[in-house]
Amino acid sequence: MAFGVCARLCLSALHALRKRNIKIGLLRPKTLFPFPSARLGELAGKIKTATVVELNNGQMADDVELAMRCAIPVRRYNWMGGKVPSTQEVVDRAVKDLEG
């Protein structure tokens, strides 16, 4: 899950990961209010892990964990200090998490 500029680079990362035959999806809310809690609750029973990519200290990841009722692990890919990650950084981190 990602919003804003992170959603754009996550879409590119999604395509790169699918080329490696990794099953992955992207939830990109258009707004964060109201938060898509109902949709996340539905997904909690269908997916193994959620990953939140954001340019802050995990505020949206906290909301995702609450919406999914802590039923599945939520990985946090946070970047702060004005640094925007590259698509390759997101892909590399996802691959590393999936292998480990």
**pTM assigned to the model:** 0.90
Domain locations in the chain? 5-95
Task: Calculate the dihedral angle through the C-alpha atoms of 43, 88, 97, 29, rounding to the nearest 10 degrees.
Answer: -20
Query: Residues 23-60: pLDDT tens digits?
Result: 999 999 988 899 999 999 999 989 999 999 999 999 99
Give the span between the Cα atoms of 9 and 44, in whole angstroms. 24
Angle at 38 (CA atoms; ends 34, 44), nearest 5 degrees: 130
Angle at 9 (CA atoms; ends 77, 61), nearest 5 degrees: 30
Backbone angles phi, psi at 49, to 5 degrees: -150, 150
Residue 18 has what pLDDT? 97
Q: What average pLDDT does this structure show over 73-88? A: 93
